[in-house]
A = this chain, B = another copy of it.
Amino acid sequence: MQVLILGGDGYLGWPTALRFSARGHDVAIVDNFARRYWHLQQSTDSLTPIASLEDRIGAWEEHSGKRIQSYVGSVDEGDFLDRVVGEVLPDVVIHYAEQPSAPFSMKSRHHAVLTQRTNVIGTLNLMFAVRDHVPDCHIVKLGTMGEYGTPNIDIEEGYIEIHHKGRSDVLPYPKLPGSLYHLSKVHDSHNLHFACRVWGLRATDLNQGVVYGIETDETALDPRLATRFDYDEVFGTALNRFCVQAIVGHPITVYGEGGQTRGFLNIRDTLQCVEIAATHPAAAGEFRVFNQFTEQFSVLELAHLVQRCAGEVGLDATVRHYPNPRVEADQHYYHAVNDKLLELGLEPHYLGDELILSMLNVIRQHRDRISLSEVAPKTRWRPGELGDEEPQPATGANGASGDDDVLGEEGVPGAAV
């Protein structure tokens, strides 16, 4: 297969590129290094040192003899993406090229607009490029479980059969997302569904849970192949951040009672799911939705798991509860269906002590790269409510005092635009 990966320099995009290349597919990637640039802007960095894209590609060629093609540019530039799709003529496009952080999208009007413009217009451009050059190509888009919110009924995979006043229909599952980032993914889902209904394109929307983990089979081969590992409040996700907190001796920070329940999965299972989707394409005209996670946990369960594992390696981790800067229920019903990927052969790597211990081990190796100030969040869903948006060191009521944490980004901790 000819595989085109948008956001192929990112946390998931790069390991995905390696995985498809290792399986013998021809891989091209697009990236504009937005994630690296956003880190520069906030003076943060990946915990793992990561090589430049050129060096990564060179290292992979050394190991595998295979060359990954790369295009540097932004998917929100329509002419650029049109040219790339017309040149590569992919059988499948894996679309990770979105701004993936909920806290980022809530920082300010500028960040909200950047997020929705980047994500919505990038996906629109992709729809048109595929329609015009490779209408039979399968679009695999990374969505997020966070699109659904926390309804009081079971979360189905994309659609729900509704019985109403003596009639019935199968309709898109209603969405109640929890951030302006999550909203951008809802918009993408609606747009892409339309492209399938009206133009006959084929797409799979992978509504992904929170991803954890650092290594995959291919990234572990060589330090130059490592993928990024974000632990800052903007791009880091819950479990990853909890492990970093345990290593540096910061309390594991739980919002409210920590009853927020979400779906989670190992980075290795992300790659497995994307591969399953790509090798079992949607039909022409079909907009297929898979809920992509392997287990559900509450935030408090994860905190206790990390605490226990930390204890096993001699770290005295504590768990503390804080007011929630997000607007979300911290006790709620949550039951999401995730049958379809399992039916297609997904073999989950469930979360256990072993994985946590290995993460703690990798994080410890890079302990000197951890910036303590990044353990604390600064973004409020309702500015002004818990203090101003900027840290106020004098009062200690805000992020700079290291008092808070975030659930993490439930979406695609993917790559740049």
Interface residues of A (CB under 8 A from B): 78, 82, 109-110, 112-113, 116-117, 120-121, 124-125, 128, 151-154, 160, 162-165, 167-169, 171-178, 180, 183, 186-187, 190-191, 194, 197-200, 327, 333, 381-382
Contacts and interface: CB of A to CB of B under 8 A. Distances in A.
Given A109-B128, A125-B109, A153-B167, A174 B174 contact: yes
Contacts of A180: 124, 191, 194
Contacts of A333: 167
Contacts of A178: 198
A172 B175 contact: yes
A265 to B, nearest CB: 24
Contact of A199 (B121, B124, B382): B382
B165 A163 contact: no
Nearest to A78: B109
How many copies of this chain sit in the oligomeric assembly? 2
Contact of A197 (B78, B197, B200, B327): B327
A401 B172 CA distance: 39
A140 B117 CA distance: 23
Contact of A116 (B110, B124, B200): B124
Nearest to A173: B174
A347 B190 CA distance: 35
24 contacts: A78-B110, A82-B109, A109-B128, A117-B117, A120-B120, A153-B164, A153-B168, A153-B169, A160-B174, A162-B162, A163-B163, A167-B333, A172-B174, A172-B176, A175-B190, A178-B198, A180-B194, A183-B190, A183-B194, A186-B187, A186-B190, A198-B382, A199-B382, A200-B382
A158 to B, nearest CB: 11
Contacts of A109: 78, 82, 124-125, 128
A27 to B, nearest CB: 26
B117 A121 contact: yes
Given A160-B162, A165-B153, A165-B154, A176 B187 contact: no
Contact of A187 (B82, B110, B190): B190
Given A153-B169, A154-B165, 4 more contacts: A112-B124, A153-B167, A171-B174, A186-B187
B190 A78 contact: no
A382 B199 CA distance: 6
A120 B124 contact: no
Nearest to A82: B109
Contacts of A116: 120-121, 124, 191
Contacts of A160: 162, 164, 174
Contacts of A199: 382
Best-surrounded residue of A167, A190, A333 (most CB of chain B within 10 A)? A190
Nearest to A191: B183
Nearest to A115: B124
A197 B327 CA distance: 9
A112 B116 CA distance: 15
Nearest to A121: B113
Contact of A151 (B169, B173, B190, B198): B169
B78 A113 contact: yes
Given A109-B125, A186-B190, A171 B176 contact: yes
Top 8 A-B pairs, shortest CB-CB distance? A171-B174, A152-B169, A109-B128, A153-B164, A187-B187, A198-B327, A153-B167, A172-B174
Nearest to A172: B174
Nearest to A167: B153
Nearest to A333: B167
A228 to B, nearest CB: 29
